[in-house]
Amino acid sequence: MTDRYAVIGNPIKHSKSPFIHREFSKQTQQDLNYTAELVDLGQVKKFVDAFKKNNGKGLNVTVPFKQDAFELADKLTERAQRAGAVNTLSLSDEIAGDTTDGVGLVNDLSRNHKIIFKNKRILILGAGGAVRGVIESILNTAPAHLIIANRTIEKALTLKNIFSDLGSIDGCGFNELNNEKVDLIINGTSASLSGELPPIPDNILNNQATVYDMMYSAEPTPFMKWGQQQNAGLCLDGLGMLVEQAAESFYIWRGIRPDTKPVIKKLKETL
């Protein structure tokens, strides 16, 4: 009987996960079926129980259910515990929760774009779930310093406190960035979805700095365009992160690491 996997969310029609995981399974010759499933609010546990009974072995979890998945898991990895959210569930006798977003981000930048994090100054914009999910993985790369900037400074400071034992980290408001210089700036806000730019000062980038937007689209995002105007060394979107976090989930489930490069290339062509 074919093992079943799915991504759950609401909405879910736009999800690229089925395409990505089908490519992975073809490439690695794994016999599995991966679908996108729309789940009603408040129905996650009911869905997971039914899915499990029907040979369901694992789930990816997207908006707005990462918190539900966190609460549903019988056991959590340390990185999921810190992130306070889960995007990968492994279903056996007990439900195991993990988060692969941070690994996805770091792997995309380091493997696909040869970015070195060690001893670099990094700025991340936003303090929501997307940002919280990647901080541990970034700090594990031993940067010189990580700054979290957010409209509401309290949220940035909360994240600073949660992760301060892992490395040099600070939280501030956008208005406190005027004298900063960074080597890598990551947009973890949803501003790009509405065609807007977070309120960041110009001249914040060191020479050959990298500008990275967690969002992706067929055209460069407003944040990437800003980076181009600032003469950034590289301006990247989050498509590679999407594929890399999926590869990490695939590895958790199947014990095999797929080759992400051809899948990123194929996915770009479908946008």
CATH 3.40.50.720 domain range(s) in the chain = 103-240
CATH H-level superfamily of 3-99: Leucine Dehydrogenase, chain A, domain 1 (3.40.50.10860)
143-185 pLDDT per residue, tens: 999 999 999 999 999 999 999 999 999 999 999 999 899 999 9
The correct answer on CATH 2.30.40.10 for the domain covering 103-240 is: no
Portions of the chain given CATH number 3.40.50.10860: 3-99
> Of 52, 66, 120, 160, which one is the catalytic site residue?
66
So what's the pLDDT on residue 68? 96
Give the end-to-end CA distance of the chain in Å, rounded to a whole number.
33
Taking the CA of residue 248 as centre, how many other CA atoms within 13 Å lie in the half-sphere pointing to its CB? 20
**Under 8 Å between Cβ of 89 and 58:** yes
Q: Please report the pLDDT score of residue 245 as a whole number.
A: 98
Q: Is the pLDDT of residue 15 over 90?
A: yes
Mean pLDDT of the chain: 97
What percent of the chain has a predicted confidence (pLDDT) above 90? 97
Active site residue 53: no
pTM for the full predicted model: 0.96
And the tokens for 75?
């056991």
What does the pLDDT average to over 255-271? Answer: 97
- Cβ pair 4, 54 in contact under 8 A: yes
The rounded radius of gyration (Å) of the Cα atoms in the chain is 18
Write the burial class of residue 271 (CB in 10 Å: 0-12 exposed, 13-18 middle, 19+ buried). exposed
- Both tokens assigned to 137: 């993985």
Q: Is the pLDDT confidence value at 121 over 90?
A: yes
| pLDDT at site 153 | 97
Which residue type is seen at 97? G
Residue 192: pLDDT over 90: no
Q: Where are the alpha helices (DSSP H) in the chain?
A: 17-28, 44-53, 66-72, 78-83, 101-107, 129-139, 153-163, 222-229, 239-254, 261-270
Q: What is the residue type of 233?
A: G
Give the pairing type, strands 234-236 and 205-213: parallel
- Output the DSSP codes for 26-45: HHHT--EEEEEEE--TT-HH
Residue 243 has pLDDT above 90, yes or no: yes
Q: Classify residue 146 as exposed, middle or buried by CB count within 10 Å of its CB (0-12, 13-18, 19+).
A: buried
pLDDT tens, position by position, 82-105: 999 999 999 999 999 999 999 999
The pLDDT tens digits of the residues spanning 21-39 come to 999 999 999 999 999 999 9
Cβ-count burial 188-202 (b if 16+ within 10 Å, e if not) = bbebbeeeeebebee
- Average pLDDT, integer, range 198-216: 96
pLDDT of amino acid 229: 97
pLDDT band of 193, cuts 50, 70, 90: confident
pLDDT of residue 37: 98
pLDDT of 66 reads 95
pLDDT tens for each residue of 231-240: 999 999 999 9
Which residues have CB under 8 Å from 149's CB, separation 6+? 123, 124, 125, 156, 171, 172, 173, 174, 176, 177, 200
**Three-state SS at 251:** helix
